[in-house]
């Protein structure tokens, strides 16, 4: 069995991280996958009274190293991406921690995991929020009413204007996988696919500029990618309220099992799945 744990959208909650680290030691999984929005927001991290100025090292790296010390050779492969609330200025620190053996930073690459390959991708379609470090146009330069274009927001690291204007999630995903066979692929996304139970937002009845808002806010490019390439498993976060609104955290699209790890309650949401039999996945709130 290849037992895996998946969590997303912990947003720097140290209590949830304490639960996660204890759970990993108890469960001894083969892999842990974290799907973005892992850090406190950039405004909080830069505030004068914030306790953890170096959250990546103070909390994440130290916590996983303590787990590694407790588990020894049973330490799992840990795969991590960032999300749209995570300032990209932290990416170098995440990469440095990866070189020190804490995890695999998997955004924009595929990393072997036994007979499987884990691919990571952090970008989400444009949102109403100002931070645009991890936002891309989806399949075109269209944005939903009320959302901010990537070139009109703020960035914690410089990005060439041409990249902001013309890069799309659709193009990125084709480059990410090339011609790879994805029948044994685990795709770690931050965004959910469009028009599924996993991308349902609490936008009912909301209107911007006389236009009703679409309650589905996921990525059309990711939905099309899943339909075309049929990876074995896709993992998603981003939309905290989707499970509460739909009652659904796992969904099937063709041969692909899709799991949503975000949660809008105080508990830590953990999804367990066996890579060899993802249909039997379970979700637990602790």
> 90-114: per-residue pLDDT in tens?
999 999 999 999 999 999 999 999 9
| Chain CA centroid to CA 113, Å | 18
Kindly state the tokens that stand for 214: 């679409």
pLDDT score for 242:
97
Beta strand pairing status for 207-208 and 282-285?
Answer: unpaired
| Whole-number Å distance between alpha carbons of 76 and 4 | 9
Mean per-residue pLDDT, 192-221: 96
* pLDDT for residue 50 is more than 90: no
Is the distance from CB of 227 to CB of 187 less than 8 angstroms?
no
pLDDT score for 173:
98
Task: Write the CA distances from 130 to 35, 58, 134, 153, 272, integer angstroms.
Answer: 21, 27, 11, 5, 34
pLDDT score for 41:
78
pLDDT in tens, 158-190: 999 999 999 999 999 999 999 899 999 999 999
Q: Is 89 helix (H, G, I), strand (E, B) or coil?
A: helix
Fold category of 3-285 in CATH? Purple Acid Phosphatase; chain A, domain 2 (3.60.21)
Q: What band does 195 get if pLDDT is binned at 50, 70 and 90?
A: very high
| Whole-number Å distance between alpha carbons of 108 and 169 | 11
| 11 vs 48, residue with greater confidence | 11
DSSP letter for each residue of 181-250: --TTEEEEESSPBTTSGGGB-S-TT-EETTEEPPSB-SBHHHHHHHHHH--SEEEE-S-TTHHHHHS-SE
pLDDT in tens, 218-272: 999 999 999 999 999 999 999 999 999 999 999 999 999 999 999 999 999 999 9
Global pTM reads: 0.95
Q: Which of these ranges, 5-9, 49-53, 112-116, 148-152, has the smallest mean pLDDT?
A: 49-53
Q: What band does 46 get if pLDDT is binned at 50, 70 and 90?
A: low
| Whole-number Å distance between alpha carbons of 65 and 67 | 5
pLDDT score for 53:
72
Taking the CA atoms of residue 182, residue 184, residue 189 and residue 194 in that order, the dihedral angle to the nearest 10 degrees is: 60
- Closest residue by Cα to residue 79 from 107, 45, 40: 107
| Whole-number Å distance between alpha carbons of 63 and 82 | 17
- Domain edges within the chain: 3-285
Q: Which of these ranges, 48-62, 197-211, 268-282, has the smallest mean pLDDT?
A: 48-62
Q: What band does 80 get if pLDDT is binned at 50, 70 and 90?
A: very high
Please state the length of the chain.
286
Q: What band does 47 get if pLDDT is binned at 50, 70 and 90?
A: low
Q: Which residues of 7-28 are buried (b: 16+ CB within 10 A; e: fewer)?
A: bbbbbbbeebbebbbebbeeee
In whole numbers, what is the pLDDT of the chain averaged over residues? 95
């Amino acid at each position: 069995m290849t037992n895996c744990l998946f969590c997303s959208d912990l947003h720097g909650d140290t209590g949830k991280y304490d639960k996660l680290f204890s759970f990993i030691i108890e469960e001894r999984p083969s892999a842990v996958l974290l799907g973005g929005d892992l850090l406190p927001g950039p405004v909080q991290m830069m505030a004068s009274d914030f306790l953890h100025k170096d959250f990546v090292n103070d909390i994440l790296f130290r916590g996983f190293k303590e787990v590694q010390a407790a588990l020894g050779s049973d330490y799992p492969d840990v795969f991590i991406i960032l999300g749209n609330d995570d300032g990209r200025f932290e990416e170098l620190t995440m990469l440095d921690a990866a070189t020190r053996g804490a995890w695999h930073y998997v955004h924009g690459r595929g990393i072997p995991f036994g007979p499987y390959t884990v691919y990571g991708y952090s970008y989400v379609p444009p949102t109403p929020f100002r931070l645009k470090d991890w936002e891309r146009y989806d399949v075109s330069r269209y944005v939903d009413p009320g959302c901010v274009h990537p070139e009109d927001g703020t960035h914690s690291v410089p990005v060439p204007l041409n990249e902001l204007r013309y890069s799309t999630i659709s193009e990125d995903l084709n480059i990410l996988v090339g011609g790879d066979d994805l029948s044994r692929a685990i795709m770690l996304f931050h965004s959910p696919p469009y028009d599924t139970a996993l991308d349902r937002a609490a936008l009912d009845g909301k209107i911007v500029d006389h236009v009703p808002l679409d309650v589905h806010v996921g990525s059309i490019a990711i939905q099309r990618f899943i339909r075309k390439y049929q990876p074995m498993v896709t993992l998603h976060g981003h939309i905290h309220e989707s499970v509460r609104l739909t009652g659904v955290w796992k969904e099937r699209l063709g041969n692909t099992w899709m799991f949503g790890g975000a949660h809008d309650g105080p508990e830590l949401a953990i999804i367990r799945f066996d890579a060899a039999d993802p249909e039997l996945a379970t979700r637990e709130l602790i």
